[in-house]
Amino acid sequence: MSDNEKHYTPPPVTGYRTLTSVDVAFMNRVKEMEGRFLDLLDEVSKHVEDGYAAAYKGAEHPDGESVIESGMVEVLRIAEANPRRWLSIGRTHVEEASMAVCRAIAQPGKN
């Protein structure tokens, strides 16, 4: 990082106060935690997708034809539970939580 980058002071953002170093440190911690949680959600998403793949594989005959038997019950159970939707909702809520906490720290005005 050059000396110019180290000493750069961004122009004020309309409606925002100047943040203290404590404010910035808290916001950075919030963003770090958000990133870690989103990484966890990526892992959960892979687990869910692996469950879909296993269920669909179990619902096929070796010759590739689908069967409506015990294997299909798992496919239908997963479809009804809709884990992809809930993961998407969870991801949105994590992002919203991070934004809300950063707003609480930055305390912007209405301008």
- List the chain domain ranges: 24-106
Q: In the predicted model, what is the mean pLDDT of residues 70-98?
A: 91
Give pLDDT, residue 84: 96
Alpha-carbon Rg for the chain in angstroms: 23
Measured distance CA(14)–CA(74) in Å, rounded: 53
Sign of CA dihedral 11, 17, 21, 25: negative
Q: In the predicted model, what is the mean pLDDT of residues 67-96?
A: 87
Give pLDDT, residue 18: 86
Q: What is the per-residue pLDDT across 12-67, written as a single tens digit (0 to 9) for each?
A: 778 888 888 999 999 999 999 999 999 999 999 999 999 888 887 766 655 555 55
Split at pLDDT 50, 70, 90, the class of 92 is: very high
Does residue 82 surpass a pLDDT of 60? yes
Report pTM: 0.75
Q: Where would I find the H helices in the chain?
A: 3-6, 21-58, 70-81, 83-106
Give pLDDT, residue 44: 97
Give pLDDT, residue 91: 98
Give pLDDT, residue 67: 55
Q: Specify which residues 66 forms β-bridges with.
A: 60
